[in-house]
Amino acid sequence: MHEAAIVAGLMKILERQAALHGVSRIGRVNLKVGRLKAVEPQALVACFEIFAEGGVAEGAELCVDHLPVRGRCGACGCDFEVKGYRFRCPRCGGGDVAVTGGEELYIESFEAAEAAEASEGG
């Protein structure tokens, strides 16, 4: 259940960012997660709901966007998307592949919930 640890960290970031931007309630969080992180989106959302309770992100929607695994060939420098965990260069067939993507985990953006008391000045 490393999702709980991930979400705990995300919450801290969200609360700090919300305070910085004067957001009192978050409506939606866009999260980017690399496929190598092997997190269960459903578990992540479930944890998010628990951690968000009583905080700035309570009731917010968590949108998880998966990022592909990427690799770079050490022999020819080819940069490619790794599919099906096949770490082999599609150009030269070399196996000397360095992982360059897929381990990301960050908040791309978040949106403030619509304020109930929005005032429009003329």
SS percent in the chain: helix, strand, coil, step 5: 30, 30, 40
| Helices and strands (DSSP H and E) totals, the chain | 2, 6
Site size for Zn ion, by CB under 5 A?
A: 8
- Residue 96 tokens read as 């000397």
Among 6, 57, 67, 89, binds Zn ion (CB under 5 A): 89
76 scored as a contact of Zn ion (CB under 5 A): yes
- Our finding on whether 98 is near Zn ion (CB under 5 A) is no
* Smallest separation, CB 95 to Zn ion (Å): 9
Instruction: Please pick, from the candidates 75, 81, 86, 108, the single residue that binds Zn ion as defined by CB under 5 A.
Output: 75
Measure the CA–CA gap between 92 and 66, rounded to whole angstroms.
Answer: 27
Q: Does 63 bind Zn ion (CB under 5 A)?
A: no
For residue 73, the minimal CB distance to Zn ion (Å) is 3
Give CA–CA dist 89/44, Å, rounded.
32
Q: What residues make contact with Zn ion under the rule CB under 5 A? A: 73, 75-76, 78, 89, 91-92, 94
